[in-house]
Amino acid sequence: MKNQHCELNDLGWNDWFEQRVQCKPTDTIARVAAVDREQLLLVDQTGTFRAKLAGSFLHRHHHSHELPCVGDWVCVEKHAGEEFGVVHSLIERRSSLRRKSAGKVVEYQMIAANVDYVVIVQSCHFDFNLKRLERYLVMVMDGGAEPVILLTKTDLVEPAVLTAQLAELRSAGITAPIVTLSNVTGDGLDDLRRLLVPAKSYSFVGSSGVGKSTLINHLIGSEMLDTKAVSGTGEGRHTTVRRELIRIEGGALVIDNPGMREFGILGAEGGIASSYSDITALSSSCRYRDCSHTGEPGCAVIEAMHSGEINQEHFENYKKLRKESEFYEMSYAEKRKKDREFGKYVKSVKKGFRDES
Ligand SMILES: Nc1nc2c(ncn2[C@@H]2O[C@H](COP(=O)(O)OP(=O)(O)OP(=O)(O)O)[C@@H](O)[C@H]2O)c(=O)[nH]1
Ligand SMILES: [Mg+2]
Ligand SMILES: [Zn+2]
C-alpha cells in the first residue's frame, strides 16, 4: 500500500471513530489492510506492518464476524524491533458489508468493514442483470454503506444496448449514481475518478470477470493486481483471491474483491434463468432433461451455438455462472469444515494463552 506521509485521517479515520475508540494507553490505532489466515496486514501513519490477534481477543470472540476484516480499525500493541504487532481489540464498525451465511443460526460473513461506498460492478456485455443488482443493493443498504453502480465493457455493446440497460435501471426506481465505462478505451474512467473522494473507502463487488481488478489497476496507475482473460473454455478460476485495501492516486481507498464464487449470491439460479432466457428456452429441446450442454448427444444448445444462433461467449458465460452457483450451493459442507478448523485454531491459541497466564 502506497501510504508515505499518511495521517490516520487519510486512511479513513474520523470523529465518529474518535468518539468510540477505547484503546489501552499502550496501544496505537491501525487499519486492517488485508487478512491472511490468522495474520493481519495493518497500516497506520508509520506504514504497513504485520500483526496477530492477542490470545485474549480470541478468547472473547467466537464468531467469524467478530474478528477483524479488511477495513476494520484496531487497537494494536507494537514494539520496536518485533516482527508482529498484537491486536487487542476491534474498534466499533461504522458500516459492515456482509452477507448472511445459510444455516439454522444466522451468521454473518464479513466482506469489508467501514466502507463508505460499495461499487456494484456489472458488465453490460451479458452480465447485466437487474435482479442480481437489486440483491446487491439490499446488501449494501443493509450494511450502512452507499451504493454506486458501475457498468463495464461498454466497448463491447452497441450504444442502444447500454441505453436500454440504463432505462431499465431508472424505471426500476434505482436512484444510485450510475457510471458506465470501458477499461479498453478508457471512456468513462474520468467520470468514475471524479466520484472518488479522498479518504473515503470503496469496496468493489460483482461477478468474476467483469473487470474489477483491471479497473482498480487503472486507478492505481500500475499493474498491481492480477487480472485474467476470461478463458474461452469457461474455466471458472477466479483471478482475485485476496482483499486488500489500497490507497489510489487522488487519495481514495479501494478494496478489490474476488468475484461471485466466493462472494456467493443466494438465488443466482433465478438470475441466470432471466439473463440467459434464450439458452434456458433451448434447453427444453435437449434430449436429456438434465442436459449440462457439455457434450451430451441431442443437445439443442450446442447445436444452436454451432449454427450461430447463440453467441459462443454468451454460452461460455452461462456455463461459468452455472458452475459458480453450483459451487456455492455445494460449499456448505466445506464451510462447516473450515469452521471446525477455525474452532480448533481458537482452542489451541486459548490453550497457549492459559499456559502463559
Ligand atoms: N472488452 C473489455 N474487456 C475488459 C474490460 N474490463 C476488463 N476486461 C477484461 O475482462 C477480463 C477480466 O477482468 P478482471 O479485471 O480480471 O475481472 P475481475 O472482475 O477482477 O474478476 P475476478 O477477480 O475473477 O473477480 C480481463 O481479460 C480484462 O482485460 C472492458 O471494459 N472491456
Ligand atoms: Mg479481480
Ligand atoms: Zn443441452
Residue 239: inside a domain: yes
- The per-residue pLDDT for range 75-88, each reduced to its tens digit, is 999 998 888 999 99
- The per-residue pLDDT for range 154-211, each reduced to its tens digit, is 999 999 999 999 999 998 888 899 999 999 999 999 999 999 999 999 999 998 889 9
- pLDDT, average across residues 238-243: 64
End position of a domain, from candidates 40, 61, 90: 90
Residues 206 and 306 occupy one common structural domain:
no
The band of 318, judged by pLDDT with boundaries at 50, 70 and 90, is confident
Please report, for the domain that includes residue 22, its CATH number. 2.40.50.140
Please report, for the domain that includes residue 324, its CATH number. 1.10.40.50
Residues 201 and 236 occupy one common structural domain:
yes
- The per-residue pLDDT for range 97-132, each reduced to its tens digit, is 987 665 555 567 789 999 999 999 999 998 898 888
Pocket perturbation via mutation, ligand 1, pick of 189, 210, 216, 261 by most ligand atoms within 8 A of CB: 210
Residue 3: inside a domain: no
Please give the pLDDT value at position 126: 81
Residue 28: inside a domain: yes
Residues 12 and 37 occupy one common structural domain:
yes
Give CA separation, 107 vs 286, 316, 337, in Å.
Answer: 40, 34, 15
Those residues with Cβ within 8 angstroms of residue 149's Cβ, 6 or more apart along the chain or in another chain: 119, 120, 122, 133, 169, 174, 176, 177, 178, 179
pLDDT of 51 strictly over 80: yes
Q: Which ligand is nearest to the CA of 315?
A: 3
- Of residues 44 and 314, more confidently modeled: 44
Residue type, 248: I
Residue located via cell numbers 469452521: 339
Residue nearest to atom 1 of ligand 1 (CA): 153
Residues 155 and 172 occupy one common structural domain:
yes
The band of 286, judged by pLDDT with boundaries at 50, 70 and 90, is confident
Classify the C-alpha dihedral 270-275-279-282 as positive or negative.
Answer: positive
pLDDT of 222 strictly over 90: no
CA 343 to ligand 1 center in whole angstroms: 37
30 neighbors 85 (Cβ within 8 angstroms): yes
Residue nearest to atom 16 of ligand 1 (CA): 227
pLDDT of 333 strictly over 50: no
pLDDT of 263 strictly over 50: no
Atom of ligand 1 nearest to the CA of 237: 24
pLDDT of 351 strictly over 70: no
Q: What is the DSSP string of 62-76?
A: -SGGGS--TT-EEEE
Ligand 1 site, CB within 6 A: 152-153, 155-156, 182-184, 208-214, 227-230, 238-240, 258-259
The band of 227, judged by pLDDT with boundaries at 50, 70 and 90, is low
- State which residues form the domain around 16: 8-90
pLDDT of 136 strictly over 70: yes
Residues 142 and 233 occupy one common structural domain:
yes
- pLDDT, average across residues 204-228: 81
Residues 130 and 253 occupy one common structural domain:
yes
Percent of the chain with pLDDT over 70: 76
Residue 135: inside a domain: yes
Residues 131 and 238 occupy one common structural domain:
yes
Residue nearest to atom 14 of ligand 1 (CA): 211
CA 240 to ligand 2 center in whole angstroms: 4
Those residues with Cβ within 8 angstroms of residue 83's Cβ, 6 or more apart along the chain or in another chain: 50
Residues 109 and 208 occupy one common structural domain:
yes
Residues 257 and 301 occupy one common structural domain:
no
Residue nearest to atom 3 of ligand 1 (CA): 153
Please give the pLDDT value at position 278: 79
End position of a domain, from candidates 66, 90, 114: 90
Residue 353: inside a domain: no
Residues 255 and 309 occupy one common structural domain:
no
Residue type, 90: L
Residues 135 and 256 occupy one common structural domain:
yes
Percent of the chain with pLDDT over 90: 47
Residue 62 pairs in a beta bridge with none
Burial of residue 282 (CB within 10 Å: 0-12, 13-18, 19+) is: buried
* Domain total of the chain: 3
Please give the pLDDT value at position 328: 44
Torsion (CA) 282, 284, 290, 291 in degrees, nearest 10: -30
Please give the pLDDT value at position 267: 39
Residue 230: inside a domain: yes
Beta strands across the sheet bearing 253-255? 178-180, 146-152, 117-123, 201-205, 253-255, 245-247
CB atoms within 10 A of CB 147: 21
Residue nearest to atom 29 of ligand 1 (CA): 229
End position of a domain, from candidates 64, 90, 116: 90
Residue 252: inside a domain: yes
- pLDDT, average across residues 239-253: 83
Please give the pLDDT value at position 6: 82
Question: CA 214, 215, 220 angle in degrees (round to 5)?
Answer: 100
Residue type, 207: S
The band of 283, judged by pLDDT with boundaries at 50, 70 and 90, is confident
Residue 247: inside a domain: yes
Please report, for the domain that includes residue 105, its CATH number. 3.40.50.300
Residues 114 and 79 occupy one common structural domain:
no
pLDDT of 268 strictly over 50: no
Q: The C-alpha cell of 292 is what?
A: 449440462
Q: What is the chain's mean pLDDT, rounded? A: 81
